[in-house]
Amino acid sequence: MMYYKSSAIIFFIWIILVEQCISFPHLASKLGLKCNQPSDHPFIPPGPNDIRGPCPGLNTAANHGYINRTGITNFDELVTMQQDLYNFASDTAIVLTTLGVALDGDPITGKLSIGRQSSDVSSNSTTPPGLNGHNRFEGDASLTRNDFYLANGNNFLFNGTLFKMMYDRARENNDLFDWEAMAQFRYDRYQQSKAEDGQFVFAPPALLLYGAASFVYEVFPNGTDMVPRLNVISPFFGAQKTDCGEWRGVPERIPCNWVKRKTPYSLVNVSEQMLKLFLANPVLFGGNNGTRNSFTAYPQQLETNNQTVSGTACFIYQGILSATSLEVDAGVTEAVPVLNYLIKKLDPIFGDQFGCPSTKFNLT
């Protein structure tokens, strides 16, 4: 009788351990359970001198060697990684990479730090800020990172409280991090920053935050079923639940037995999802005036006649070009070369695919 009781207890404990590994795949290797990972891109936690930053997708790519594990990457490597790892279409990969390199990296060499400023990314005696640079590519009200002015400049480390907010929205929605949960969470983050951050900025390019939210249910789920549940979402964010029920950050990684989505995630797809997420809970573009809840709307808004896929894409593109000269610190990077770089790379994409008018800028 004791033998059967002991066997039952052991079996019950084993089931619990297995379930933990399903929910948190990073535990599987510790428990000796099967966890298939890309053999040519093994997970290696970042070393003390490796750079990581505010983008979970880029951190994951570096931890698996899809981009340089140091965190210093370049244009070609980034474009290739996004297609090979996440199955972004080439247009999406080029647009995202162009924005990162132009605003936070070095357009001359094509280099970019995925986090803090680094002397390894420099030319013409300037050192770009890296993706940690505030109000360039990175902005307020991100999914799992603090607003710059609410955390003494820490806009790059994982915030477990924010991940819990997102997780709670998923739990209310059949445990799915789908578009409905993410639409509500995006609205939650907007309202939170608006109420707490005196320097809150939500300019037209912030629509890209809706694109980032769409990656949670369009890019991170396992391509075998595309179901955005916690077991596949949490590893990409490096979110680990503690015994106390809180969420802490661990190095981001690809989930066990994961494969990328089957069809490329094109810029048209991204624009469709951005518009859907935005229209679920429309908000105004604008910013606070140095104090909490002192919001003033900008003249540029996504008007009803522009609430189409093409209208959304063109609204973002014009917003990026209009804001660039204000966002780029002339002491670090000259605005004109950056604008030239953006226009050269992006005009053909936004013009050919969305019919956006050629930019009003005529720079030499």
Given a cut of 80, whether residue 352 has pLDDT beyond it is: yes
Name which of 155, 67, 145, 148 is nearest 111 in CA terms: 67
Name which of 124, 57, 108, 139 is nearest 323 in CA terms: 139
Which tokens sit at 343?
Answer: 């226009």
pLDDT level of residue 21 (50, 70, 90 thresholds)? very low
The CA distances from residue 262 to 20, 265, 335, in Å, are 28, 9, 39
Mean pLDDT of 315-338: 74
Summarised one tens digit per residue, pLDDT across range 280-301 is 999 999 999 999 999 999 999 9
The strand pair at 72-74 and 201-202 is best described as: unpaired
Q: Where are the domains of the chain?
A: 47-138, 145-307, 323-363
Distance CA(283)–CA(187), nearest Å, equals 8
Q: Percentage of the chain surpassing pLDDT 90?
A: 80
Give residue 87's pLDDT.
98
Summarised one tens digit per residue, pLDDT across range 68-108 is 999 999 999 999 999 999 999 999 999 999 999 999 999 99
Give residue 268's pLDDT.
98
Give residue 323's pLDDT.
79
Summarised one tens digit per residue, pLDDT across range 187-238 is 999 999 999 999 999 999 999 999 999 999 999 999 999 999 999 999 999 9
Residue 286 is classified by DSSP as E
Summarised one tens digit per residue, pLDDT across range 3-18 is 455 555 554 444 444 4
Distance CA(207)–CA(277), nearest Å, equals 10
CATH 3.40.50.150 fits 145-307, yes or no: no
